[in-house]
Structure 1
Amino acid sequence: MAKRTGRSSPLVADKRYPKGARTKASAKSSRRGESATGAKPKPKRSARKPATRRARGGGGRGGIIGALRGLVRGIFRLIWGISWRIGMVIALLIGIGVGYHASQLPEMTALLDGRARGSVTLLDRDGNVFAWRGDQFGGVVTTETVSPHLKNAIIATEDKRFYRHFGISPRGIASAVSINLSEGRGPLSGHGGSTITQQTAKLLCLGEPFDPKSGQTEKEYEANCRQGTLWRKVKEAIYAMAMEAKYSKDDILTIYMNRAFLGAGARGFEAASQRYFGKSAAEVTASEAAMLAGLLVAPTRYAPTNNLTRAQNRAEVIVGLMQDQGYLSVAEADQARARPAELSEAAAARAGGYFADWVMDETPEFFGDKTTEDVIIRTTLDQDIQTAAEEAMNVVFQEKVSDGSKAQAAIVVMSADGAVRGMVGGRKTRVSGVFNRATQAKRQTGSAFKPFVYATALDLGASPLDTVVDEPFCMTIPGSGRWCPENYTHKHYGEVTLTEALKKSLNIPAVKTSEKYGRDKVRIVASEFGIDSDLAAGPALALGASESTLIEMTGAYAGILNGGSSVTPYGLTELSLLGEDTAVFGAAGGIGERVIRTEAAEQLIWMLQQVVAEGTGRRAQLPGWQVAGKTGTSQAARDAWFIGFTADYVTGVWMGYDDNTPLKGVSGSGLPAEIWHETMMRVQEGRTPKPLPMRDPIPPHRTEPAQPEGRAGEGVGGAVNQILRDIFGSSR
């Protein structure tokens, strides 16, 4: 090893410094030494540092990059300066807008029912609701009076942060915009991200009430309230914050629950609960609450009256949200899924169908379709009879009418005083607002008109046992020439009683009887019985050449059943305003003036009973019941009728095509009689049979027994009539 000397070797690091640098380092060392001794160092003139190559090349803190950085900082300072000032102005304007709207808002109670029009509630004969019309408002509900399930379902579905935000939810808006863009829509199209407060502001139309004098329809007004433009959204947000400033959260939710449209004409959750479930909103279960809350997103689409399965599926989604947010336990949610909400019977019947349409048409507009009040109408409807008629219609068409047939039918059931108990206006039974063939279709009545020919004769003194000759017959009609009626069978039966002529629905005897007793008198009798349509002036009147509606014809037969007094069919028994005990008015129909003598009516009932017992109406027979009625088939079989009655009810049936196409293989004695039979079998089920109020014709005393000689093929009825002919001879 080399021996270390006392002088230390210079550090290698020293060589890194150039000569000038070492001098500077020495100078620094001297200054440090002077300072240590207290001597003040001598100041030196600073020398300008020569620019380095990097600086000359544009590096360091200066140059272009430095200039750009400075420019960016300047622009940022400018933007920030402008932005916070604009922000302050906007905030001030928003504050002014919020304050202004908050000062203009009325008390919460004034905003609960915002309908422009009133509603109509229809009750059946037992006082049960079966139909609603107009915007139904069931009454005020609050967050305290509704079922907790309903309140929770609304919040879980529409705005889970409702009790935490200030009227608008930036997070919700951002999420909605993101979803809309991802689905290929505009940022404001589709999902809106609106809070319950914003939705309430929209329901209030931002404080702009509907003005009928503006020229806008209510539909146009509501469409304008639902605009989704950016400016409208801004105004909506300001109005929502004003509501938050004015009202409590529960107040806002109360307004929302009372004004929301929930389908089927229901405004507010109380009306919807009554409409769909027949109960108060305070009583709904978790599954029912979920179904009601599910309506908010699309009331028409998810209305259970439109598609119950779809509404139940939507409700199941809501139940899941309620469970996720802690409003339902797992067990409660499972129970709600296992027992989905079901419609009440009234809701299942939709809006009352043809009967409700007819009652509304018969009600003055200012209490009906255009009412501004909440109206209660009590009606004559018997829902059991209505169901019976609908079932009968469906059974016959399913079992005895070929698939694809466009034939239609209508049914009317009424009491002898004209009170309509059931009505079906077409094959589709559970519909409303469509063509009602029971009340609107005027069709040729055919032989269903003949009872009024014989009613005239009986009232003028004829007997059911009087005879008339059925033979080839012609007459000259002024202006039309020679007219020769024919029987449906194209046969002639010689001398027949009036009863036999009616029983077999013979045309020639009917024309002869009408001409004998006066066709003008026949027209008067038919008109007074309630057939208001224009009646034919010629002899074809007797054959039902005139047109009438089913309800007119059924009402006319009711006049026969009640002993010969006219009848005005009616469905409304009492109309009152909601909350008032005194009725505005009562029934506008019922029994009117006498048309024919009671004796004549009772004899006619006996004749009509023979039609069903032995004649063309045999398919309408009811085991254990006396039935009277008449078939009818119009020219070229375009219309087929059967109208008949028991002691309890009169029922009319019409069948045909809407375009007047002739029926194939159908007459009044066929399918219409079968529909009548199916209807009345259901209507009379469980009732005790009652005899008809009829009077048998009493023949004069004879000393010799008659010999039963009937025509071949006429059966017992033919033999009986032959006996009567042998006894009494020709008509008096």
Structure 2
Amino acid sequence: MKQTGGRKPPLVADRRYGAAPAAPAKPKPAPKPAPKPKSARSRRPARRMAWPIRLVAGLFRLVWRALWGVGWRLAAMGAIVVGLATLYFYAQLPPLEALIDARTRGSVTLLDRDGKVFAWRGETFGGTITAETVSPSLSNAIVATEDKRFYRHFGISPRGIASAVRINLAEGRGPLEGNGGSTITQQVAKLICLGVPYDPKAWKTEADYEADCRQSSLMRKIKEVPFSFAMEAKYGKDSILTLYLNRAYLGAGARGFEAASQRYFGKSANEVTPAEAAMLAGLLKAPTRYAPTASLERAQGRAAVVLGLMHDQGYLTESQFRDALANPARLSKAAEARAGGYFADWVMESGPAFLTQDTTEDVIIRTTLDQTIQKRAEEALDYVFETKVKAGSKAQAAIVVMSADGAVRAMVGGRNNQVSGAFNRATQAIRQTGSTFKPFVYAAALDMGYTMNSAIDDAPITLYVKGSGEWSPKNYEPEFRGMMTLTDALAHSINTATVRLSQAVGLEAVRKVAADFGLQSELAQGPAIVLGASGATLLDMTGAYAGILNGGSSVHPYGLVELRIQSDDAALMGQEGGMGERVISESAARQLTYMMTQVIERGTGRRARLDGHEAAGKTGTTSDYRDAWFIGFTADYVVGVWMGNDDNKPLTGVTGGGLPAEIWHEVMARVEADLPPAPLPMIRPEDLPPPAYQGEVYQAGGQIGGGAAEPYPGQLAPYPGQAQAPAPEQGGESLVDILTNILGRRD
């Protein structure tokens, strides 16, 4: 075989038997790359770290190791303490049901004559609601506003606390002042006072107890942590939210969202719309400030902020958000009216304290209030003061509307009528009555047998009052009219004739009639009583006039019809008041009614005249114009009006026939607007026999009892068959008092 380029390889025979296979040839190691030449810098010797730096680094490592060693041990100890505290609080927490309503006092809900709620007193609790049954809009609004991470934390939110501290410091407050960063769980912990029950021995009032619970301090914040963990572990999220729904205070005396929803919207919290839910949730920030009964506009503004949070967090779609903004929540009619604040206070005072102001139960009181009449009375008062009283006037006024049996239908205790707990001028102010007292003088005479056609003399008269000297009452107008009927004397409010009549019938008879009609305050002892020197409340005076309308029977004004515990059907107490015993004859009352119609038709009360309705009444003005009255009635209602200053300063040019008569007219015109005209029950002059006269039987001029004056011929004589009129009484009232209390007025 031809070879090319070299020697032949030797022939070697294969070993077939017993020979081990040859080991594979080892691969030759790759040649090492030639080392690169060292640069001049790399050939220099390594420089060691400077000793000061090594010292600092060593100290840092030492401190860090020490801190870490101490820190993790402290953290572990803290975790153990928190865990033990959590277990302790967990064991102490009562069942959920025991915490739903922990009020120490009950509430009073007041219903009007139709059974509709018009007022509340105390903190009302509307009943238990739960996170499962409440309107989803409401639970979403609360979470969006108060704690958006509520379902993601274990009771506290470090991020929320850090954010709150940052905000507080940025606004110049302390780290724990202002925003607290509290979760809903922490807020519930505060609401239940971290498990500390109310003890009347430790706190003077429940308000002091709650104020102490709301105080924020470092120790309280620290205690909140394990307490919140314990609540989360024992109750769970939905139960904690249920507690919040039922325990939060939401303004206007509403405790819990159910009570607030009923109070503001007249519906259950299970039914509120997104707009209403946002308004309720907005109250949590500042219940009193954002209560819609305090300022609806402010409450709606706060609700708009809550709606924005709900939208941003995905609880509301864009269309739902826009719709809620365009249609903000509004108050129910009852809440918007806020009618009968003064009336509610009066009813609360008329019931036993342990069932009203100090009740530990939830009480329902049914009353006589008519919300429509109440609203119209308030509107009438506002109208007169806005249109006929000068700006800046501090004058006050009060109104009472009553049925003939004494049932009070409306009460306005002052110009600011949407209040509670304020001074009630209708029931608490005892003021001189002026000429509104005169009808009781005439009632006494009519009941003794005189008639409206009997003659009386308008002539000078001087009485001697023991201890005071001579007293000569004057009329509003200087001239005297001479002989006139009793009707004319009352219609024109003639002082001399009224005094002369009182001497004929006797002051004791006048006092008895007035007292039996309900004027129980201390009556003046001297003859000045007949011109209104005594004091009385507007409520009592209106009740006395109701006795004239009903035919002569006494009246005890009342507003409470029935009182019962909310959970019971049986009433604990019923009506206390109404018509009592007869005071004067029906004939006397019907004659007096006609005489009082003439006050309005042609006398001092013409400004009170009503179109299409018969009305009777009497004006009254006291010394130096300090008090001005008008009290009158139609066949349907009695209305009393008082006007004056709280400091007893004189009014400027106001008499009973002026602004009070106009207020009365505005009230009665509105009240009677929906009622058909009804005639007053009265006897007219033509229905009576002609009067009988006797001459020279009673000294009418000069000093009574002094014997110096000649008898005035033709003056009023005792009714035939009646005994001779007694000598005038000698009173203990001083002349200064008489002159101060009584000045000649034509009212």
Give TM-score scaled by structure 1 length: 0.88
Q: Is contact 2:129–2:245 with CA below 8 Å preserved after alignment?
A: yes
Q: Which of 58, 80, 84 is residue 70 of structure 1 equivalent to?
A: 58
Q: Give the whole-Å Cα distance in 2 for the aligned partners of 1:14 and 1:670.
A: 121
Q: Which of 373, 379, 385 is residue 391 of structure 1 equivalent to?
A: 379
Equivalent position of 2:75 in the other structure: 87
Q: Give the whole-Å Cα distance in 1 for the aligned partners of 2:351 and 2:566.
A: 16
Equivalent position of 1:562 in the other structure: 550
> What amino acid is aligned across from residue 235 of structure 1 in structure 2?
K
Query: Where do 1:526-537 residues align within 5 Å?
Result: 526-537=514-525
Give CA deviations for 1:206-250 in whole Å, capped at 9, x if unaligned: 001111122432122111111211110010121111000101210
> What amino acid is aligned across from residue 428 of structure 1 in structure 2?
N
> What amino acid is aligned across from residue 281 of structure 1 in structure 2?
A
Equivalent position of 1:108 in the other structure: 96
> What amino acid is aligned across from residue 486 of structure 1 in structure 2?
K
Equivalent position of 2:85 in the other structure: 97
Q: Which of 679, 682, 689 is residue 700 of structure 1 equivalent to?
A: 689
Equivalent position of 2:398 in the other structure: 410
Q: Give the whole-Å Cα distance in 2 for the aligned partners of 1:462 and 1:233.
A: 83
Equivalent position of 2:536 in the other structure: 548
Are residues 1:378 and 2:333 paired? no
Could you tell me how far 1:17 is from its partner in structure 2? 12
SS at match of 2:673: coil
Structure 1 unaligned residues grouped into runs of 5+: 1-9, 22-51, 703-726
Q: Kindly tell me: are residues 78 and 621 of structure 1, through their superposed partners in 2, closer, same or farther at Cα, counting changes over 3 Å?
A: same
Q: Which of 345, 348, 361 is residue 357 of structure 1 equivalent to?
A: 345
Q: Is contact 1:354–1:436 with CA below 8 Å preserved after alignment?
A: yes
Q: Which of 141, 161, 168 is residue 180 of structure 1 equivalent to?
A: 168
Q: Give the whole-Å Cα distance in 1 for the aligned partners of 2:250 and 2:115.
A: 25
- RMSD, aligned α-carbons: 2.1
Q: Is contact 1:466–1:730 with CA below 8 Å preserved after alignment?
A: no
Give CA deviations for 1:608-648 in whole Å, capped at 9, x if unaligned: 11221221112111112111111111122211111000111
Q: Give the whole-Å Cα distance in 2 for the aligned partners of 1:427 and 1:184.
A: 43
Q: Which of 198, 201, 208 is residue 220 of structure 1 equivalent to?
A: 208
Are residues 1:400 and 2:388 paired? yes
Q: Is contact 2:565–2:571 with CA below 8 Å preserved after alignment?
A: yes
Q: Is contact 1:495–1:730 with CA below 8 Å preserved after alignment?
A: no
Q: Give the whole-Å Cα distance in 1 for the aligned partners of 2:64 and 2:35.
A: 52
Q: Compare relative contact order (CA 8 Å, sep 6+) and give the higher one, 1 or 2.
A: 2
Q: Which of 260, 277, 282 is residue 272 of structure 1 equivalent to?
A: 260
SS at match of 2:643: strand
The count of residues paired between Structure 1 and Structure 2 equals 663
Q: Kindly tell me: are residues 471 and 86 of structure 1, through their superposed partners in 2, closer, same or farther at Cα, counting changes over 3 Å?
A: same
Equivalent position of 1:44 in the other structure: none
Give CA deviations for 1:576-611 in whole Å, capped at 9, x if unaligned: 111110011011111111111111111111111122
Of residues 687-696 and 443-452 in structure 1, the stretch that sits farther from structure 2 once superposed is 687-696
> What amino acid is aligned across from residue 401 of structure 1 in structure 2?
V
Could you tell me how far 1:161 is from its partner in structure 2? 0.9
Query: Where do 1:11-26 residues align within 5 Å?
Result: 13=37
Equivalent position of 1:454 in the other structure: 442
Q: Kindly tell me: are residues 215 and 322 of structure 1, through their superposed partners in 2, closer, same or farther at Cα, counting changes over 3 Å?
A: closer
Equivalent position of 2:332 in the other structure: 344
Q: Is contact 1:132–1:352 with CA below 8 Å preserved after alignment?
A: no
Q: Is contact 2:620–2:656 with CA below 8 Å preserved after alignment?
A: yes
Could you tell me how far 1:349 is from its partner in structure 2? 3.0
SS at match of 1:652: strand
Q: Give the whole-Å Cα distance in 2 for the aligned partners of 1:96 and 1:729.
A: 98
Q: Give the whole-Å Cα distance in 1 for the aligned partners of 2:267 and 2:551.
A: 44
Query: Where do 1:433-444 residues align within 5 Å?
Result: 433-444=421-432
State, as a whole percentage, how many aligned pairs show the same letter. Answer: 62
Could you tell me how far 1:344 is from its partner in structure 2? 1.1
Q: Give the whole-Å Cα distance in 1 for the aligned partners of 2:191 and 2:130.
A: 17
SS at match of 1:667: coil
Equivalent position of 1:128 in the other structure: 116
> What amino acid is aligned across from residue 689 of structure 2 in structure 1?
P
SS at match of 1:588: coil
Are residues 1:638 and 2:619 paired? no
Q: Kindly tell me: are residues 16 and 455 of structure 1, through their superposed partners in 2, closer, same or farther at Cα, counting changes over 3 Å?
A: closer
Could you tell me how far 1:13 is from its partner in structure 2? 4.7
Equivalent position of 1:712 in the other structure: none
Are residues 1:290 and 2:254 paired? no
Q: Give the whole-Å Cα distance in 2 for the aligned partners of 1:673 and 1:424.
A: 16
Q: Is contact 1:295–1:302 with CA below 8 Å preserved after alignment?
A: yes
> What amino acid is aligned across from residue 537 of structure 2 in structure 1?
T
Q: Kindly tell me: are residues 90 and 564 of structure 1, through their superposed partners in 2, closer, same or farther at Cα, counting changes over 3 Å?
A: same
> What amino acid is aligned across from residue 181 of structure 1 in structure 2?
L
Equivalent position of 1:591 in the other structure: 579
Q: Give the whole-Å Cα distance in 2 for the aligned partners of 1:77 and 1:446.
A: 95
Q: Which of 588, 603, 610 is residue 622 of structure 1 equivalent to?
A: 610
Q: Is contact 2:483–2:715 with CA below 8 Å preserved after alignment?
A: no
Q: Is contact 1:468–1:496 with CA below 8 Å preserved after alignment?
A: yes
Q: Give the whole-Å Cα distance in 2 for the aligned partners of 1:695 and 1:474.
A: 34
Q: Give the whole-Å Cα distance in 1 for the aligned partners of 2:426 and 2:234.
A: 55
Equivalent position of 1:422 in the other structure: 410
Of residues 627-636 and 62-71 in structure 1, the stretch that sits farther from structure 2 once superposed is 62-71
Equivalent position of 1:467 in the other structure: 455
Equivalent position of 1:651 in the other structure: 639
Q: Which of 291, 296, 302 is residue 303 of structure 1 equivalent to?
A: 291
Q: Give the whole-Å Cα distance in 2 for the aligned partners of 1:585 and 1:335.
A: 48
Are residues 1:145 and 2:133 paired? yes
> What amino acid is aligned across from residue 159 of structure 1 in structure 2?
D
Could you tell me how far 1:53 is from its partner in structure 2? 9.7
Of residues 613-622 and 508-517 in structure 1, the stretch that sits farther from structure 2 once superposed is 613-622
Q: Is contact 1:639–1:662 with CA below 8 Å preserved after alignment?
A: yes
Q: Is contact 1:408–1:426 with CA below 8 Å preserved after alignment?
A: yes
Q: Kindly tell me: are residues 60 and 658 of structure 1, through their superposed partners in 2, closer, same or farther at Cα, counting changes over 3 Å?
A: same
Q: Which of 291, 302, 305 is residue 317 of structure 1 equivalent to?
A: 305
Higher helix share: 1
Equivalent position of 1:711 in the other structure: none
Give CA deviations for 1:141-164 in whole Å, capped at 9, x if unaligned: 001211110011001111111111
Q: Give the whole-Å Cα distance in 2 for the aligned partners of 1:670 and 1:318.
A: 52
Q: Give the whole-Å Cα distance in 2 for the aligned partners of 1:469 and 1:69.
A: 120
Could you tell me how far 1:65 is from its partner in structure 2? 2.5
Of residues 349-358 and 258-267 in structure 1, the stretch that sits farther from structure 2 once superposed is 349-358
Q: Is contact 1:445–1:548 with CA below 8 Å preserved after alignment?
A: yes
Q: Which of 230, 255, 260 is residue 242 of structure 1 equivalent to?
A: 230
Could you tell me how far 1:123 is from its partner in structure 2? 0.5
SS at match of 1:213: coil
Q: Give the whole-Å Cα distance in 1 for the aligned partners of 2:565 and 2:39.
A: 113
Q: Give the whole-Å Cα distance in 1 for the aligned partners of 2:715 and 2:284.
A: 78
Equivalent position of 2:14 in the other structure: none
> What amino acid is aligned across from residue 607 of structure 2 in structure 1?
R
Q: Give the whole-Å Cα distance in 2 for the aligned partners of 1:462 and 1:696.
A: 14
SS at match of 1:684: helix
Q: Give the whole-Å Cα distance in 2 for the aligned partners of 1:181 and 1:690.
A: 73
Give CA deviations for 1:677-696 in whole Å, capped at 9, x if unaligned: 11000000121111111122
Q: Which of 463, 469, 484 is residue 472 of structure 2 equivalent to?
A: 484
Q: Give the whole-Å Cα distance in 2 for the aligned partners of 1:685 and 1:14.
A: 117
Q: Give the whole-Å Cα distance in 2 for the aligned partners of 1:161 and 1:337.
A: 25
Could you tell me how far 1:64 is from its partner in structure 2? 3.2
Q: Is contact 1:612–1:619 with CA below 8 Å preserved after alignment?
A: yes
Q: Is contact 1:133–1:351 with CA below 8 Å preserved after alignment?
A: no
Could you tell me how far 1:658 is from its partner in structure 2? 1.4
SS at match of 1:641: strand
Give CA deviations for 1:322-369 in whole Å, capped at 9, x if unaligned: 111111100000000000000112212337421111111212211112
Q: Is contact 1:407–1:655 with CA below 8 Å preserved after alignment?
A: yes
> What amino acid is aligned across from residue 505 of structure 1 in structure 2?
S
Give TM-score scaled by structure 2 length: 0.86
Q: Is contact 1:444–1:639 with CA below 8 Å preserved after alignment?
A: yes
Q: Give the whole-Å Cα distance in 1 for the aligned partners of 2:538 and 2:228.
A: 56
Could you tell me how far 1:664 is from its partner in structure 2? 2.2
Could you tell me how far 1:662 is from its partner in structure 2? 1.6
